[in-house]
Amino acid sequence: MAVCDKNFPRAGITAEMMDLAGFSVANPRENNHRGSTMGNSDYLTPKENVQPVELAALERVFKYLDTKRDKKLCWQEISDALIKLGHKTPKDQIELWIWEVDDDLDQMVGWEEFLSMYQRCISDCTGLEPRNLFNLVQFLMYDKDFTMRISVEQTLQILFVRHGRGELDSEIAEIFGDQQKGPDGQELKITFSQFLARANARLTKMRWAKKEVTKVAISTKRR
């Protein structure tokens, strides 16, 4: 699980890890006006750092999205990917997705911003980190051959390195539900729209849980 306590020591963080593009961003925290919890990157334990399997998947997805081959993702490239997934999205919404992670404010997403976005989201246990682009990227990381659908088997490798064996079954259930096989007995495959609906429902639960914890903390403090 991600560590949200700002007093938690930076155990296991080496100088090499701190030099990784995804560990920090150029934009100072005080200038971060989009609501991202940038402080997360200062308190990562080794588990929260991007694993080699994830990094390889992220590079593959970035290359897939970067159809112009300019090492930047614009709204049109993201839109094209969404259309292929059968999830056409208005331009203004995609521009918001970019704005949420655009640390240098060039209205595009560079590789370092892309990696930082992923790292911040996997480290966030509040549900407050913007996840619009993250959800798209996560789906495409699972969809290795870009078939526009994912199965349980396709998610196993990344889920295992991210969550370990102990949380694997619960993570699979969050993505696919309790029924992971179709009526014909074949492994269930879901679309991006189905994946997104479950991801958003999970995010809502996470945010409500955070609110309840905050209410209890305030109530206890007043006594």
For residue range 28-79, what is the model confidence (pLDDT) as tens digits?
444 443 444 444 445 455 556 889 999 999 999 999 999 999 999 999 999 9
HEC readout, the chain: CCCCCCCCCCCCCCHHHHCCCCCCCCCCHHHCCCCCCHHHHHCCCHHHCCCHHHHHHHHHHHHHHCCCCCCEECHHHHHHHHHHCCCCCCHHHHHHHHHHHCCCCCCCEEHHHHHHHHHHHHHCCCCCCCCHHHHHHHHHHHCCCCCCCEEHHHHHHHHHHHHHHHHHHHHHHHHHCCCCECCCCCECEECHHHHHHHHHHHHHHHHHHHHHHHHHHHHHHHC
Q: What is the pLDDT of residue 40?
A: 47
| Mean pLDDT for the stretch of residues 148-169 | 95
Q: What is the pLDDT of residue 218?
A: 55
pLDDT band at 180 (very low <50, low <70, confident <90, very high): confident
Cα–Cα distance for residue pair 78/195, rounded to 1 Å: 17
pLDDT for residue 20 is more than 70: no
pLDDT for residue 18 is more than 60: no
Q: What is the pLDDT of residue 126?
A: 85
Q: What's the whole-model pTM score?
A: 0.75
Q: What is the mean pLDDT of the chain?
A: 81
Q: What is the pLDDT of residue 179?
A: 78
pLDDT tens digit string along 101-157? 999 999 999 999 999 999 999 988 888 899 999 999 999 999 999 999 999 999 999
Question: Which helix (H) or strand (E) segment is 18 a member of?
Answer: helix 15-18
What percentage of the chain carries pLDDT values higher than 70? Answer: 72
Cα–Cα distance for residue pair 150/139, rounded to 1 Å: 8
